[in-house]
Amino acid sequence: MAASTYQQRIQEFKKELAQTEGHLRNLSVARIVCFIGILFFGYQYLSGGFEWTWLVFCGVLAAAFVISLVFYQRGKDKQALLEKLLSLNEKEWKAVTEDVIAFEDGEAFMDDQHNFSGDLDVFGPASLFQSLNRTGTVSGGQHLAESLQQPMQDVRDIREVQEAVKTLASQIDFRQHFMAHAQLAQEGKDDVKELRQWLDAPMDFLHRRNLRLVSWICPLLVCLAIVYYAVSGNYAVMLLCLMINWIILLMTARKVLAVHNLLSNKEKLLKKFAVLLQMIKQLSRGEGSWLQRQQQTAAEADKALHQLARISNQLDQRLNLLVGIVLNSIILYDLHCVFRLERWKAKYRHRLNEWIDTIARQETVNSLATFAYNHPAYTYPVFREKPGVTGTAIGHPLIPSSQCVTNDCSIGNGDQFLIITGSNMSGKSTFLRSVSVNWLLAMTGAPVCAAEFSCSPLRIMTSMRIKDSIARHTSYFQAELLRLQHIIQVLKSGQQVFIILDEILKGTNSEDKLAGSRELIRHFLQYNCTGMIATHDLDLGALEAEYPQQIRNYCFESSLDNGCLHFDYRMRPGIARNKNATFLMKQMEII
């Protein structure tokens, strides 16, 4: 269904884009004709005794030229929007039909020290972020990343987002237009940061009453002096007044420049932010409380941001020679711009951050809604109070459905830890990530890759891909110990934690590794945590007999069929018995 919808939209946007391009060509021809006509009638006016009829023709063509220019710019804006929408649908079609994800992968957010993101492929190429990401602004991408790094822990908040995702999943036109406009905003990495710096900066002009009076009195004196010069021919008074104006400008130049540096070239961004907030305001929201709050926040934002965009553009005009010299000399143009900016800031400074965050939140939920639309077979999780997870047919959302093998899982229902054994490449690590990634998706408000899934919001902590670091002077073994130490410190704080460990203490000898692993698991059982541990140490399975109410053994097996190694990637109760390392080494002619 999603694939056919995207294909249909591709055809529609291609057709509309072709029509728009044809319209633009016609307008270009019309402008050329108008320009030639203006030259012709102008020549007739000058060479024909200044007959006013020719001047009327020139005026009509000049008006037509301006009108065609306005329509041409509107057409260019429409063309840019259609190109974004066409590109977006082509990417979506490839995503659902070929499993090719061409969206930003969030590599900038990768952090080896994070509790789980490095181990669960949350960021980077072929990551969860890339699969979800449908943000168009830098702020939206950052908010989506934060939602994955620090997922919600309050069930009520998660359910509200779930309802918003369900509502928006069917509103493909809104989601795609929102993303296209967000991309057209072309937000730079420091744009929002500079806006917030301007908001936090002290107001150096508005509260200076004397300066406000001067900003009106001095221009008035200059205008009177110009009139006096025109009547009397005496320019001394005019020069004196102009000199006073420039002294005032020079005295305030440093602070005006500081404001301009923070707000320069922000007009387009602010206008697009206003458009996005207007779209939120007009959205058909259903009954979702999350969307209702979004709309309440956006209620007056579009007009206010359009106003700020206009003032910002006016301040940018100070770089124009006519404005910078002539208007500043006469009316103190810079001062009037910063006064208008500070009046705006006094009225809305506590709202702008909220408006920007509203756009970012909307982009995040739109991303989750697109994910839900592209995966109609996924289910929305149910949340429970008791720590743990129960799921049937759990698969990994980053593995194509045609290749994905699913398994059931239950933790926290009469057991605290699962010890999972199995031979190399049998599917242990993939299963650990399948459960963890779906648990993470559940806490963001998204649907999960499972037939049924119930869990409790809690903190996820992993130790799977530990790396040594020359820069931090840590060996592999020390890095693993530091990660385990961090997990214990969090457990001691009383937080509920879901722990994922893959092959504990790989950096030491087998006997020491087994003894240390046993003691670590025993230590975990004292705390408010659940988890899964994958290991090749089959002797760890003996802990089930020691703690029958807290530990369960599961395994992934491999088999030899006619000299070929076979994996079914199915999890089953018990301890693994089959081994394949020696066989694989012989098959690859290593030994």
- Tokens at 381, concatenated: 């999780």
126 lies in some domain: no
Is 219 in the same domain as 297?
yes
CATH code assigned at 519? 3.40.50.300
Same structural domain for residues 366 and 230? yes
Question: 374, 391, 415 — which closes off a domain?
Answer: 374
Which of 353, 374, 395 is the last residue before a domain boundary?
374
Which of 374, 408, 423 is the last residue in one of the domains?
Answer: 374
Residue 77 tokens read as: 């804006």
Q: How far is CA 586 from CA 204, 296, 432, 559, in A?
A: 78, 67, 29, 16
Dihedral sign, Cα of residue 479, residue 484, residue 490, residue 496? positive
Please give the full DSSP string across 121-157, using - where no structure is assigned: T-SSTT-HHHHH----SHHHHHHHHHHHHS----HHH
| Cβ atoms within 10 Å of 525's Cβ, excluding its own | 14
| Residue 152 included in any domain | no
Angle subtended at Cα 122 by Cα 160 and Cα 110, rounded to the nearest 5 degrees = 120
d(CA 317, CA 324): 7
Looking at the structure, do residues 339 and 414 belong to the same domain, yes or no? no
Q: Do 560 and 455 reside in the same domain of the chain? A: yes
pLDDT in tens, 217-273: 999 999 999 998 888 888 888 999 999 999 999 999 999 999 999 998 898 899 999
Both tokens assigned to 307: 């106003």
What is the distance of C-alpha 56 from the center of its chain? 54
Same domain, 293 and 413: no
pTM: 0.90
CA distance 342 to 264: 15
Give per-residue pLDDT as tens, 150-194. 999 999 999 999 999 999 999 999 999 999 999 999 998 899 999
Position 589 scores a pLDDT of 59
Kindly state whether residues 352 and 392 are assigned to the same domain.
no
Query: pLDDT tens string for the chain (591 positions)?
Result: 789 999 999 999 999 999 999 999 999 999 999 999 989 888 888 887 777 888 888 889 999 999 999 999 999 999 999 999 999 999 999 999 998 999 999 999 999 889 999 999 999 999 999 999 999 999 999 999 999 999 999 999 999 999 999 999 999 999 999 999 999 999 988 999 999 999 999 988 988 989 999 999 999 999 999 998 888 888 888 999 999 999 999 999 999 999 999 998 898 899 999 999 999 998 876 667 899 899 888 888 888 999 999 999 999 998 888 888 889 899 999 999 999 999 999 999 889 999 999 999 999 999 999 999 999 999 999 998 888 899 999 999 999 988 999 999 999 877 899 999 987 788 899 999 999 999 999 999 999 999 999 999 999 999 988 765 544 546 677 888 888 999 999 999 989 999 999 988 876 777 888 888 899 999 999 998 999 999 888 888 899 999 998 999 999 987 766 667 778 889 999 988 766 655 555 665 566
Q: Looking at this protein, which amino acid is placed at residue 73? A: Q
* Residue at 393 is within a domain: yes
Residue numbers of the domain that contains 303: 183-374
**Residues 458 and 576 both lie in one domain:** yes
Q: In this structure, are 394 and 347 located in the same domain?
A: no
Q: What share of the chain is helix, strand, coil (3-state, %, to 5)?
A: 60, 10, 25
C-alpha distance from residue 393 to each of 404, 405, 575 (Å)? 10, 8, 21
Are 251 and 319 found together in one domain?
yes
Considering the domain architecture, whether residues 500 and 567 belong to the same structural domain is answered as yes
Whether residue 395 lies inside any domain: the answer is yes
Secondary structure (DSSP) of 61-121: HHHHHHHHHHHHHHHHHHHHHHHHHHHHHHHHHHHHHH----S---GGG--TTSSSTTTTT
419, part of any domain = yes
Provide the greatest CA pair distance for the chain. 113
Instruction: State how many domains the chain has.
Output: 3
Say whether both 512 and 577 belong to one domain.
yes
Q: Does residue 145 lie within any of the structural domains?
A: no
Length of the chain: 591
* Paired tokens of 390: 């129960």
Residues 6+ apart with CB under 8 A from 43: none
**Which pLDDT score, from 0 to 100, does residue 56 have?**
87
Q: Residue 3 and residue 21: Cα distance in Å, rounded?
A: 27
Q: Are both 358 and 495 inside the same structural domain? A: no
- 259 in a domain, yes or no? yes
- Note whether residue 280 is domain-resident: yes
